[in-house]
Amino acid sequence: MTIQGKIALVTGGSRGIGRAICARLGSMGCFVWVNYVSRSDAAEETIEMVRQVGGQGQAVQLDVADFNQVQDGFKDIVAESGSIDILVNNAGITRDGLVARMKEGDWDAVLDTNLKGAFSCAKAAVKPMMKKRWGRIVNISSIIGFSGNGGQVNYAAAKSGMIGLTKSLAREFASRKITVNCVAPGYIVTEMTQDLDEAVREKMLSEIPLAALGEVDDVAAAVEYLVSDRAGYVTGQTIHVNGGMYM
Ligand code: NDP
């Protein structure tokens, strides 16, 4: 089966890495549901990009941190599109701070969005995938989930958690020909990383063997492979896209 004509849903598709993934899936012939939480203008711009590369898409406003909203929203999408074949759990936030100063709400917000959100979306998406006995789930983790990072205990815990989530889902759904994999980006140029001060940026560059920050298309290329037919025998794995910063 080729992925031409498949129905894809990308959480946090309105900006950054998610937007590049939407465009890539659109160029592969998918219908792309572009999820966002607050920036409908940005989601519409993504859809325009999807159209420009020959794909089709529609925006869907859902807060992935809200379990019930996700279950109901995915049901509506399946009713309208007939299926969800490809799910990319990309939506993510940061609420950084040293543990001593981190508020409970900062922990909860990051875990609820980045980890529970991926669980809620996967739970809702596997139903139509199981019926079709075909599916692709790609979770966007992070280098921080592997290396840890002072000031990011919440983010690191959520992104490490995604690895366990991925492997367990991969085992649970392999018999239904649903593959579940991770992409773990390093430092990619997006709104999430644009406010780094110059000293931090320079230090980071000195730690990256390929001596450059990554681009959103570098991550989209890994997703492109994982959702393709060529990756049909790959499940429970992580592709690191980080310029060699973590090996
Ligand atoms: P951005 O901050 O540029 O974009 C975040 C996206 O997530 C937006 O589309 C936003 O929607 C959406 N979003 C945030 N919260 C929710 C929510 N509750 N429900 C639905 N959508 C939500 O992030 P990046 O593109 O930089 O990051 C994308 C993913 O990649 C994240 O999971 C991040 O952790 C991960 N990552 C990023 C790295 C980087 O260097 N940039 C490195 C490693 C991992 P809206 O536009 O409506 O606000």
**Is pTM, for the whole model, over 0.85?**
yes
**Amino acid at residue number 115:** L
Nearest CA to ligand 1 atom 39: 188
With contact defined as beta carbons under 8 Å apart, do 13 and 35 qualify? yes
In a domain, 245, yes or no: no
Between CA 86 and CA 126 the distance in angstroms is 10
Name the band, by pLDDT with cuts 50, 70 and 90, for residue 195. confident
In a domain, 242, yes or no: no
Q: Which of 219, 160, 209, 157 is CA-nearest to residue 185?
A: 219
How high is the pLDDT of residue 119?
Answer: 99
Between CA 153 and CA 99 the distance in angstroms is 7
**Amino acid at residue number 17:** I
Distance of CA 134 to the CA centre of its chain: 19
Q: What CATH number is attached to the domain comprising 31? A: 3.40.50.720
Distance 91 CA to ligand 1 centre (A): 4
Q: Which of 86, 111, 112 is CA-nearest to residue 22?
A: 86
| Mean pLDDT of all residues in 174-199 | 92
Mean pLDDT of the chain, nearest integer? 97
Q: How many domains does the chain have?
A: 1
In a domain, 143, yes or no: yes
In a domain, 204, yes or no: yes
In a domain, 179, yes or no: yes
Residue 100: domain span: 7-237
Mutate to test the pocket of ligand 1, among 9, 11, 17 (most ligand atoms within 8 A of CB): 17
Between CA 96 and CA 70 the distance in angstroms is 26
Tens-place pLDDT, residues 44-85: 999 999 999 999 999 999 999 999 999 999 999 999 999 999
Distance 92 CA to ligand 1 centre (A): 4
Question: Which atom, in ligand 1's list, is nearest to the CA of 213?
Answer: 40
Query: Is 187 a residue of the active site?
Result: no
Q: Dihedral through CA 63, CA 69, CA 71, CA 72, nearest 10?
A: -130
- CB 12 less than 6 A from any atom of ligand 1: yes
| Mean pLDDT of all residues in 199-222 | 94
With contact defined as beta carbons under 8 Å apart, do 11 and 89 qualify? yes
In a domain, 243, yes or no: no
- CB 63 less than 6 A from any atom of ligand 1: yes
Tens-place pLDDT, residues 165-186: 999 999 999 999 999 999 999 9
